[in-house]
Structure 1
Amino acid sequence: MNHATALSPPRRLRADAARNQQRIIAAARELFADHGLEITLDDVAERAGVGVGTVYRRFANKKELITEVFEQSISEFAEAADAAYSHADPWFGLVEFFEYACRHMAMNRGFSEVMLELEDDMERFVVVRDRIKPTVMAIVERARQAGVLAPGIEPSDFFALIHMVDGIAEFARPVNPDVWQRYMAIVLNGVRAEGTPPQQLLVPPLNDTEVEQAKGACAGRKR
């Protein structure tokens, strides 16, 4: 028997399975970001271009897939925090991470929903908090020691500020998905010390029509 020939098919299958898993996860990330957690595994299979059975072989249920996608997002958050802490300039390092966090939350509806759900799962919520919080606090503390933050600003303020910007993004997403950038800049200008470079307001505010449309969309989601 030719053992090399006999063993080659399983290797190809393993490679195919690995590629399928990555396609499934990538599809799930896109769908969660765009539509939140209400999507189905059938939706994921269609977006990934695989059969539903393939999805179920990799993930027994949607919760397992959500967990996998969420863990990848947290790893990326941790990497972004490490990079920001290593930035040569304490202020621009803080701005870099704050923008990353706001952009990720604003453009990823599913991530925001998972974070809210995690508050009911304290063990997992603590794991997430403990993985990222120390580095974020170090980023802010380094900026404070460099004198680029306004007096009284604490590291814990930034977790609330990120959620504030995410709140604007959620409200405006149906009519103006980019306006959160304006309020992110306003927030950063509010916490910087005198002499620290200001953020430019490059995105205009919502106009009256957009505000009314956003209010209508918000009311529709609550029905």
Structure 2
Amino acid sequence: MATVDTTRGGEAQRTLRADARRNRERVLAAASAAFAEEGFDVGVAAIARRAGVGTGTLFRHFPTKLELEVAVVLERAAGMSENLQAALAEPDPWEAFTTLMTRIVEQTSSDRCLGQATKPELLGDPRIQELQDELLRGVEEILRRGRDAGVLRRDVTAEDIPVLASAIGTTMERFRTSQPELWRRYLGVVLDGLRADGAAPLEPGPPGPDLLSGTC
């Protein structure tokens, strides 16, 4: 039977563990906000100041800046999954696709972290690759429904979607303050180009998995 440590030493260890956990949460929250506002160019010293900790504390929890970036992107996974589930629950194939695209582009355009999440160092991380593969499978199901219904051009693939969303998000970095809703205009142009009616053949083909994963 396990015993409860009631000594002062046991209490001190529990306090240290709780403090470490709080510090990690503070660093992650500060990094999440900083990356959303400024992108991945923000330095670790600025993140540590924002979290109210020293850089040594930050590096104890995240030995490299890349580890911190990966942790923030993985934290975003819940929102990404919610977007996908909302689209999958929509019975109309075109509405399902536009729901997905709208939510992805809205988030990418307002959150520089997501807009820059296609950089090779991140996509080469196995945890990010696993997340990406899972999300792409869901996106492909949305696209399949649209193709089968004849409302979506047949040559669009799941790999095209993050590239298109990132393109709009990157463009919005210039207008995020002055015209924060401008992404809707370019999303409208993209959606019209993805309709089945009047679609011309696309050249060249979509990016391959190696390009998306940053291995090429």
Counterparts in 2 of 1:36 and 1:164: CA distance versus 1, 3 Å: closer
Of residues 161, 172, 175, the one that matches 1:172 is 175
Structure 1 segments unaligned to the other structure (5+ residues): 195-223
Identity among equivalent pairs (%): 30
Counterparts in 2 of 1:18 and 1:83: CA distance versus 1, 3 Å: farther
Partner of 2:156: 154
Partner of 1:4: 6
Which amino acid is the alignment partner of residue 26 of structure 2? Answer: R
Give 1:16 deviation, angstroms.
2.5
Of residues 88, 102, 107, the one that matches 2:105 is 102
Instruction: Render the CA deviation track for 1:34-74: whole Å, top value 9, x for unaligned.
Output: 11222222211211122333212212221221121122224
Instruction: Render the CA deviation track for 1:95-150: whole Å, top value 9, x for unaligned.
Output: 22212211222122233334123488486775454232111010121233234x24
Question: Under a length normalisation based on structure 1, what TM-score does the superposition of the two structures give?
Answer: 0.70
3-state SS of 2:161 partner: helix
- Cα distance between partner residues in 2 of 1:84 and 1:98: 9
Counterparts in 2 of 1:14 and 1:88: CA distance versus 1, 3 Å: farther
3-state SS of 1:115 partner: coil
- Cα distance between partner residues in 2 of 1:4 and 1:186: 65
Partner of 1:49: 52
Partner of 2:190: 187
Counterparts in 2 of 1:3 and 1:167: CA distance versus 1, 3 Å: closer
Counterparts in 2 of 1:104 and 1:30: CA distance versus 1, 3 Å: same
RMSD: 3.0
Which amino acid is the alignment partner of residue 44 of structure 2? Answer: L
Whether the 8 Å contact between 2:123 and 2:129 is mirrored in structure 1 is: no
Instruction: Render the CA deviation track for 1:150-199: whole Å, top value 9, x for unaligned.
Output: 444523443443233224313433532321122213322443468xxxxx
Partner of 1:200: none
- Cα distance between partner residues in 2 of 1:56 and 1:66: 13
Which amino acid is the alignment partner of residue 43 of structure 1? Answer: A
Of residues 37, 40, 43, the one that matches 2:40 is 37
- Cα distance between partner residues in 2 of 1:24 and 1:119: 19
| Residues 1:70 and 2:56 are matched in the alignment | no
- Cα distance between partner residues in 1 of 2:138 and 2:63: 34
Q: Which has the higher contact order (CA 8 A, sep 6+)?
A: 2
Which amino acid is the alignment partner of residue 179 of structure 1? Answer: L
Question: Under a length normalisation based on structure 2, what TM-score does the superposition of the two structures give?
Answer: 0.72
Of residues 11, 16, 19, the one that matches 1:13 is 16
3-state SS of 2:21 partner: helix
- Cα distance between partner residues in 2 of 1:120 and 1:29: 18
Which amino acid is the alignment partner of residue 154 of structure 1? Answer: V
Which structure shows the bigger proportion of residues in helix conformation? 1
- Cα distance between partner residues in 2 of 1:184 and 1:41: 33
